Amino acid sequence: MTMREGLAARRHSLRLLAVVGATFAPAIANAQCLIAGGSARLSNFCILEQMSQSLVDYRLALFIDTRLKSEGYSRGLGLPNSEAAPPISTKAFVQPILSYSDNINGGNSPEPLVLGSLTFDGDEALYRKEGIIAGLGAGLNGRYILDEGQYVNYGVNASYAHSPEFGLGITTTGVNVSSINHIQNWWYFDAHITTSRVRKDITDNTTSTISLVSSKVFSSGGDSYSEASFGISRYFADSYTQNQFILGYDTIHSNGMFSSVDVMFGEALEGQLTTRFSSRARVSMQLVNKPLSLTARYSIADGGMMLGFERNENTYEISATYPIWGNLKATVGYRVTDSTIDYFDVDTPSFGVEFTSIQF
């Protein structure tokens, strides 16, 4: 059954619910399908599948009706007296920033650089500085609906975070545009363009990515629902460009957990340190009625050269995110980079507080 056929069948049954005012709310559709981490399309598929199996509360029907309309399905579930989504919607936001940075100024390691029998001492003025930074971010996010299941997401953002200890700041700007396209039967083809610039006291780096991704949403059995994706991307750094191949697999499990695995394979570039492989595994679950998210990352970079010595690196990272009060989230983690040149080794904790953005 295609997405449009499934919506037509549900519209008929939900008109009846709108008249009689059903009072049976499947908690599983709320708790399971809307767990943090899943994409909107995966959550929508999960809810629609659950709705086809039991009666639902009218408020839940109205909720999914609104979500479908925001993705271009103008009739949604066909509920009476529900408003269509505007073709263009834009929201501004501001968000406080409070986190720890292991390199506020973009500086170098204070350790001596040892290459074979050679030892180099760096300029102390260029040593990296670490500590707490605080600031404010702001931006715009919007959507332009083209047709059923077809729309463009866009956004611009800027932030400034300051270190009171060193009197230094980090300025970040970014732009993103995504074309989302439902082809048929829950197959999607998306195009994404992102660019960001990070300016510190010593460094000024700009990176951009263009990617084409195809994905399929489906039932993986036993009241579990998955989204599999694959695609290609072109990564642009200040000193090089790299072709990449990406894979992803997300699942909303029947026990209320969410899991996600993403991998990337990067092109080898002679004489340039680049990420050749990276992976991320993430799990979200309810802990004391709040969503706990655990993330593990691993990456391999090689190809670097310094005065005839090879530079290859393995990076390991773990982190956990949990709401500590209201919508205020705390993230703690640890990152280790093991380089063939000890000067580039990194062993640092990470933590931050994520404030809910204020939209208007």
- 105 — pLDDT class (breaks 50, 70, 90): very high
- 346 — pLDDT class (breaks 50, 70, 90): very high
Q: Which two structure tokens, joined as six digits, stand for 204? A: 């000024």
Residue 352, pLDDT above cutoff 80? yes
Which residue from 285, 283, 328, 325 is spatially nearest to 35, judged by alpha carbons? 285
pLDDT at site 14: 41
d(CA 86, CA 76): 13
d(CA 257, CA 294): 11
pLDDT at site 50: 81
pLDDT at site 261: 97
* Amino acid type, 333: G
pLDDT at site 13: 39
Residue 53, pLDDT above cutoff 90? no
The pLDDT of 17-46, averaged and rounded, is: 63
Residue 166, pLDDT above cutoff 80? yes
Q: Which two structure tokens, joined as six digits, stand for 292? A: 């706990």
* Amino acid type, 139: G
Crossing angle, helix 40-51 and helix 58-70, to 10 degrees?
140
pLDDT at site 20: 33
Average pLDDT taken over every residue of the chain: 88
In angstroms, what CA-CA distances link 205 with 154, 161, 199, 228, 277?
22, 16, 6, 32, 22
The structure tokens 């010595």 sit at 309
Secondary structure of the chain as H, E, C letters: CCHHHHHHHHHHHHHHHHHHCCCCCCHHHHHCCCCCCCCHHHHHHHHHHHHCCCCCCHHHHHHHHHHHHHCCCCCCCCCCCCCCCCCEEEEEEEEEEEEEECCCCCCECCCCEEECCEEECCCHHHECCCEEEEEEEEEEEEEEEEECCEEEEEEEEEEEEEECCCCEEEEEEEEEEEEEEEEECCEEEEEEEEEEEEECCCCEEEEEEEEEEEEEEEEEECCEEEEEEEEEEEEECCCCEEEEEEEEEEEECCCCCEEEEEEEEECCCCCCCEEEEEEEEEEEEEECCEEEEEEEEEEEEEEEEECCEEEEEEEEEEEEEEEEECCEEEEEEEEEEEECCHHHCEEEEEEEEECCCEEC
The pLDDT of 105-114, averaged and rounded, is: 93
Residue 4, pLDDT above cutoff 70? no
The pLDDT of 123-140, averaged and rounded, is: 94
40 dihedral zone (left: phi>0; alpha: psi -120 to 50; beta): alpha
Residue 203, pLDDT above cutoff 60? yes
Q: Beta strand 274-287 with 290-306: parallel, antiparallel or unpaired?
A: antiparallel
pLDDT at site 25: 38
Percent of the chain with pLDDT over 70: 90
312 versus 29: which is more confidently predicted?
A: 312
- 44 — pLDDT class (breaks 50, 70, 90): confident
Residue 15, pLDDT above cutoff 60? no
- 232 — pLDDT class (breaks 50, 70, 90): very high
For residue 165, count other CB atoms closer than 10 A to its CB: 12
Residue 250, pLDDT above cutoff 60? yes
For residue 275, count other CB atoms closer than 10 A to its CB: 19
Compute the C-alpha angle 223/185/180, nearest 5°.
Answer: 105
77 dihedral zone (left: phi>0; alpha: psi -120 to 50; beta): alpha
Q: What is the pLDDT of residues 282-332, one digit of tens each?
A: 999 988 888 899 999 999 999 999 988 999 999 999 999 999 887 789 999
Residue 165, pLDDT above cutoff 70? yes
Residue 159, pLDDT above cutoff 90? yes
Q: Which domains does the chain have, with CATH numbers?
A: 3-70 (no CATH), 100-359 (2.40.160)
The pLDDT of 227-256, averaged and rounded, is: 96
